[in-house]
Amino acid sequence: MNLIIVESPTKAKTLGRFLGGDYKIIATLGHVRDLPRKRLGIDIEKNFEPEYVVEDAKKKELAEEIKKLKSSASLLYLATDPDREGEAIAWHIWELIKNKNEKDPQRIVFHEITEQAVKEALNNPRGLDTRLIDAQQGRRILDRLVGYKLSPLLWRKIRKGLSA
C-alpha cells in the first residue's frame, strides 16, 4: 500500500477513484500544526524562531493516524496544494511524522485533478521546496508579529474584533 496525503477530502476521494486499492489517500483539512492561538509563539530573542504546536485534538489524532499508516506504507507521497501554503503544510506533516535522520519525503505536485496529471506527478516526485516553505513561514511570522501587537490597539481605538 502507498500512502498519499492531500488537503481536501474531495480530492482524496477523486484520487482514490483514479488510483485504486494500491493507494490509501488521507486528507489533512489544511494545517495540522501552527503557531499557538493564545500567545505570540515567536521567540524574538532567538532569531524569530517560530514555536509550532498541534493544539486541536482532532489534528493530534490525524497526525497519529498518518504516522501509523506511514509505518505500514511502501511509499509516502505528500500531495498538498502546489502553492507556498501547501508546501508548508506538507513540511509540517513531515516534521510530525518523520523518523530521526529520515531523508526528504516524496512530494508530488499537480495543477489539475485528472488521472493523467496525477499519474505523471507520481512518476516525477521531488523533495520539499525549502524556498516555498521559508516564504510561507516568513509571511506567517510577520502576520503574527504585526497582528498580535496591532490588533489590541485597533480594538481599543476603533472597534472590538478588528484584526490587523
Give residue 149's pLDDT.
77
- 78 vs 107: CA distance, rounded Å: 5
CATH 3.40.50.140 for domain 2-157, yes or no, is: yes
Amino acid identity at 16: G
Could you report the per-residue pLDDT of 31-58, keeping only the tens digit for each?
Answer: 999 999 989 999 999 999 999 999 999 9
CB 42 within 8 A of CB 145: yes
Could you report the per-residue pLDDT of 98-153, keeping only the tens digit for each?
Answer: 988 888 899 999 999 999 999 999 999 999 999 999 999 999 999 998 887 787 77
Domain locations along the chain? 2-157
Place of cell 488510483: 19
- 159 vs 82: CA distance, rounded Å: 37
Closest by CA position to 24, among listed 13, 34, 33: 13
